[in-house]
Structure 1
Amino acid sequence: MIRKIFKGVCVASVCLLLCFDGYAQKIKAGVLVVGSSSAGVAAAIQSAHSGVKTILIDKGNFESIVLPSDEGQTRSGIYANFIKRVESAQKYPVTKNQVFSPSFAATIFKAWADTVKNLTVITRGSVTAIAKDGKGWEAILSNKQIVKADVVVDATQDNYVASLASLKVVDTIKNSSPDSLPYADNKYRTGVAITPSANTFPVTIPVSAFIGATDNFLAPWSREIIATTASGQATGAIAAFCSFFKTTTKSLNVRMIQSELMSFGSQLMRFDDVAEKDTNAMAIQNIALTGILKGRAVSGKFHFMPDSNISTDEIMVPVKEYSSRSQIWFLDNKSEKLSLKETLSLIKFIASRGNELDREVTKGWSASLKLPSKFDPARPVTRREFAVLFNAFVRPFHVSVDLAGALKR
């Protein structure tokens, strides 16, 4: 889908840091975020929310934050929280096309940042030198302070922190054609933020898009992808993971990062036919990120088709990836329209469940599973129902994947 390769660290910066090391005040942090763009603030807030001491540096004093027009495509995660704070301040609902002035957006974000535990904001400051320090980084600020951080996030519009560290940025993007089945590789399984890019399907940005060749240096931007609160929030979660677990960007637990983001309301894969407030949206998203049920690009939009039916041929190969023993079930079961009864039979086979599953599903159909339809084992199962049942009782999303999206056993 995207992206970046970072190379080289400036020897001169290392020498400069050593010169200051003897007398400069040192500040230790888990994550250092440079740049108070909407993505930068989102990265800092998410990192702090994830329990990591975070420093956000702003060249100014939060006077101006420009929100890209694409921000309003979805209201999830930090952006949804921003909207709530705007509505509280202006005393009336935010309309879909409402535009926020840079000064007003900055006022909202600044007031928010001031209340976030684990977050320190340094205004009217900048990084003048930066160099690798073991697994982490050391940065000299314009006030002569030295920040030692496990992870650095460059959220500046001109990428000047990467330039200071002599890190080269190379961007590449692969856009699938709008009406094809757009799954060129398995990286969609590692999606951590939705992308506003037109005709890029699936509508998700893989975790590898934020990672460079140099450990623990991240950026929520690309020459092709607009930095948004969504990409910033993803970057913050990745950075926090590395700091919290004292590891590097080469050793990420993708599913843990995805789960952390979803626990804070992030949307990781967007479907045009599944509402953000849909009671089954989380289960649909989880199953979509496993690839057991895939979305389809239709006329420039990405659809899950929650009310459509499923054939055994459609799910046989992806289900077998998660359960090799399921091939025995598929040998004995063929159906153009998989029934609810057959779905429960498949789940029982994979999860080693008995007839108690029938009673559990019947009892929880409307209550815990929150399915809007009527329970009828004889009728064809919908993609929505299949996603909810598989997510609840097979739990394929809990199978780990590597940075390329391959399953880890």
Structure 2
Amino acid sequence: MKRLFFVFAFIIPLVIHAQTLKTDVLVIGSGDAAYTASFQSFKSGVKTILLTQKEQLDLDKITATHKVFYQDFLKRETENANSLNIAKPKPDRKKPLKVTVDSTLLLNVINNTPYTEIKRSGNGWEIKLAKDKTIKARILVLADNPDKLMGALKIASLNPASSSTLNYTENIYRTTVTSVASAGASFLSLYSLLIPDEENLLYIDKDQFEIGRAAGATAAYAAFFNTKTSLSNLKSIQGELLAYKHALMPFEDIKPVDSNWLAIQKVGVTGIIKAEIKQKKAYFNPEELVTYDEIKQPIKDYYYKAQIWFDDHQHIPINLENTISLVCYVGNKSVEATKAELQKRWNKNYKFSSKYDLKKVLTRREFAVIINEYLKPFDVVNIDKTGRVIR
């Protein structure tokens, strides 16, 4: 199990027989965003229908960047569905860490099928297709022309979720649900994805590959926990996306294959170590040495006890010994036990290339891994909608 509302599923092509199809999440669209949203939604454990408005995507016509994703998508779409004959228990919503595969949790794809009407149906949605066929969905992700939707909602305009440029003068980056590499050092805040006064609706640009993943995870969260999109839990959605190796922070120099990728992403979201913004790209600079001045205030912002430690340790080098002292004081841990633990894990678990040395000034990579391991600021410290730390 990875995080909170994870289950895995199989994909089968959908042939419409019933008059009314019911699903947790309906994704409408034919571009990059629609495919990634639907794929992430079903991977996150809810029944999903993708309603495309054109023929199935031609792999020869897409960019190399997206080809790996689509190859995986189309391979799974044609997998044998024999597992549907196996009786499996339904997910236990009260104990989400122990959910199991439910044979009804499938991604169904309806290709090249226009819809004639879209409207609210209770807290969900009703979409009418040709020949008196209907889809009822709890959550709608629209990655297509919104004209019919705007008419149904009686609104004059509807803007797709938009990304923001990484800017450390504000804390909103802590609410990120995806990095947007196509826009440089940019990210999407969860609260830019949610639409005020419009529950259970997400509207995204059809070409935004990264935003599609965030929309899929957010829709799946609301469906799985039977809640409204406005009540989305930021940390749960962030954790879900990280578990699938989807970056939250747009670090140009830290890739998912990096053995410390997860720790750096988590610490990066907190802002305890900040990226360098250069030529509209964000660089974590993992091998540069960490400095006292850059980490002092951010750690104090996260932990009351850190204020006392920094008052007692003025302008010291951030070497391994002092970092152990910091995490042990703030986290109420044994210094000797922590030293022994780190020495054992240094090269074997953390894959650091350096030698374990208490007097060694740490790199930003090493410091991020230790802070993530022993203080867990991303996991245990809550923030509000503006990214402000709640203590």
Normalization by structure 1: what TM-score?
Answer: 0.77
Cα distance 1:220–1:68, how it changes in 2: closer, same or farther (>3 A)? farther
TM-superposed CA distance for 1:142, in Å, is 2.8
From 137, 142, 158, the equivalent of 1:169 is 158
Q: Which amino acid aligns with 1:401?
A: I
Kindly indicate whether residue 52 of structure 2 is the aligned counterpart of residue 58 of structure 1: yes
Conserved? CA contact 1:45–1:113, under 8 Å = no
Conserved? CA contact 2:264–2:369, under 8 Å = yes
Secondary structure at the aligned position of 1:205 is classed as strand
CA distance in 1, matches of 2:126, 2:171: 35
Q: Equivalent pairs: percent with the same residue?
A: 33
Conserved? CA contact 2:162–2:188, under 8 Å = no
Q: Which amino acid aligns with 2:54?
A: G
**Which 4+ runs in 1 deviate beyond 6 A?**
65-68, 171-175
Cα distance 1:149–1:171, how it changes in 2: closer, same or farther (>3 A)? closer
Aligned to 2:288: 308
CA distance in 1, matches of 2:211, 2:333: 40
Aligned to 1:209: 192
Aligned ranges 1:148-159 → 2 under 5 Å: 148-156=136-144, 158-159=145-146
CA distance in 2, matches of 1:363, 1:252: 39
CA distance in 2, matches of 1:278, 1:360: 22
TM-superposed CA distance for 1:56, in Å, is 0.8
Aligned ranges 1:84-163 → 2 under 5 Å: 85=71, 109-115=73-79, 118-156=106-144, 158-160=145-147, 162-163=149-150
CA distance in 2, matches of 1:146, 1:290: 44
Aligned to 1:101: none
Secondary structure at the aligned position of 1:325 is classed as helix
Cα distance 1:192–1:295, how it changes in 2: closer, same or farther (>3 A)? same
Aligned to 2:386: 404
CA distance in 2, matches of 1:311, 1:67: 47
CA distance in 1, matches of 2:223, 2:268: 29
Cα distance 1:175–1:59, how it changes in 2: closer, same or farther (>3 A)? closer
Secondary structure at the aligned position of 2:137 is classed as strand
Aligned to 2:223: 243
TM-superposed CA distance for 1:197, in Å, is 4.5
Aligned ranges 1:2-401 → 2 under 5 Å: 25-64=19-58, 72=65, 79=66, 81-82=68-69, 85=71, 109-115=73-79, 118-156=106-144, 158-160=145-147, 162-166=149-153, 167=155, 168-170=157-159, 182-198=167-183, 201=185, 203-213=186-196, 214-221=198-205, 227-335=207-315, 337-354=317-334, 355-398=336-379, 399-401=381-383
TM-superposed CA distance for 1:58, in Å, is 1.5
CA distance in 2, matches of 1:184, 1:284: 20
Cα distance 1:334–1:142, how it changes in 2: closer, same or farther (>3 A)? farther
Higher strand fraction: Structure 1 or Structure 2? 2
The gaps in structure 2 that reach 5 residues or longer are 1-17, 82-104
CA distance in 1, matches of 2:61, 2:288: 37
Conserved? CA contact 2:251–2:282, under 8 Å = yes
CA deviations over 1:264-320 (Å, ceiling 9, x no partner)? 221222222224421111111110001111111123331111122223332222112
CA distance in 1, matches of 2:112, 2:59: 15
TM-superposed CA distance for 1:132, in Å, is 2.3
The gaps in structure 1 that reach 5 residues or longer are 1-23, 73-78, 86-107
Secondary structure at the aligned position of 1:34 is classed as strand
> Pairwise CA RMSD of aligned residues?
2.6
Secondary structure at the aligned position of 1:389 is classed as helix
Aligned to 2:95: none
CA deviations over 1:222-273 (Å, ceiling 9, x no partner)? xxxx733322111100000000011112111111111111212212222222
CA deviations over 1:45-91 (Å, ceiling 9, x no partner)? 1111111000111123315579776x73xxxxxx58527x3xxxxxx
